[in-house]
Structure 1
Amino acid sequence: MDKRQQLVVTAFDLFYRHGIHAVGINQILQVSGVAKKTLYHHFSSKEALVAAVVAYRDAAYLEWLNARLAEGEQTVTGLIHTLFMALDDWFNDRVEQLTTFHGCFFINTCGEYGEPGHEIHRLCARHKAAVVNMLADYLRRTGTAAPATSRLAQTLGLLKEGAIVQAHVQGEKRAAITAGELALRLAAD
């Protein structure tokens, strides 16, 4: 792993566990073992590092989710089942590549960058849109008609977000199972 990647991975781990504003540059440098000069060679500011961390998690999460959805049965019910079982695995720390569950990194980050016009906030919003677009793509593959595809993708995205928050904030580790059952009932209607 090169120094830039080492900084991004270390910063992600610290930001995800403790929060972005709670973690200082010196802590990232200490844990990563990288010199301050090297950090500023790669990133002009802490905010530039945060943007790189958001991009890193975005790529990792979308890659994981796409792989999981591709494994499932390519029907509407199969997609719903696969999505919420994947979330259940994540919430219950059975997904090594996503690390220990501390809620949604993008939701947590938006809590710290609350202004919708802020670049970090916009990067997080783009991630959320990419997830819904991915769900819509998988729904189209099932033969679901266009208006229903968009509506169902939005619904699944909303249920996914609610399950993440309930699992993190309330410690309800079965939230994905409950949301999946609700999604199946809604899709049947």
Structure 2
Amino acid sequence: MSDKRALLLNSALELFYEKGTGTVGINEIIAHSGVAKKTLYHHFSSKEDLILAALSLRDQRYLQWLRERLADADSNADLVRQLFNALNDWFNDRATELGHFRGCFFINTAGESATRNQLISDRCASHKVAVRRLITDSLPQPNDRLVDALCLLKEGATTSAFVQGDKQAALRCIDIALAFDTPAPFAV
């Protein structure tokens, strides 16, 4: 990636995550990055193209961060603790690679573009699928019921931390999630 493209993309991601994709314009990105408008359009054909690239960059960063945080789990219970402790670090601005916590960039962006842009909505949804796959693949012992619980609790904790300012939401999920690390009772 060229230096100018990287600068534009990092500036756009920072502004989009902080303020939202709908409120940040091309001129603000240009001013923030110090790159000429012609250079921006040389690398990105439209604001939509820039938003999609920013979503891809955030997806890469988030998945790399999460993969590293879950890498050495030796039991499902250990993975549960690692996942929610990682989220707690993010919510409390201790995950520097993700920047200042402003909620989930994908939920925020999907909410802004749900009726306006299918490509952006689809990109946000594909991130959630990738996170689910990462969690599934990281579990030492397969457990679909636990994966469902982890993904739903993760989303709820992230939303609570951002919307309600509940920075301890992730830690409260640990005991709840551990209850799902047991086989489901047989239905009668």
Equivalenced residues, count: 182
Of the structure 1 ranges 1-10 and 30-39, higher mean CA displacement relative to structure 2 is found in: 1-10
Show the counterpart of 2:54: 53
**Inter-partner Cα distance in structure 2 for 1:112 and 1:157:** 22
Q: Which runs of 5+ in 2 are unaligned?
A: 184-188
Select the structure that is richer in helix: 1
The equivalent residue for 1:172 is 166
Cα displacement (A) at 1:119: 0.5
Q: What's the counterpart of residue 143 of structure 1?
A: 141
Deviates more, 1:177-186 or 1:97-106: 177-186
Where structure 1 has 5 or more consecutive residues not aligned to the other structure, the ranges are: none
Cα contact 2:145–2:180 (8 A) shared by 1:
no
Q: Alignment partner of 2:181: what SS?
A: helix
Matched letter for residue 78 of structure 2: G
**What is the alpha-carbon distance in structure 2 between the residues aligned to residue 122 and residue 166 of structure 1?**
24
TM-score by length of 1: 0.92
Partner Cα distance (2:79, 2:157) in 1 = 16
Counterpart residue type for residue 110 of structure 1: A
Do 1:116 and 1:122's aligned partners in 2 also have CA atoms closer than 8 Å? no
Distance 2:117 2:129 in 1: 16
- Cα offset for 1:83? 0.3
Conserved? CA contact 1:74–1:138, under 8 Å? no
1:63 aligns with 2:57: no
Task: Find the aligned partners of 2:25 and 2:97 in 1 and give their Cα distance.
Answer: 25
How far apart in 2 are the matches of 1:82 and 1:16? 25
Counterpart of 2:146 (choices 137, 152, 156) is 152
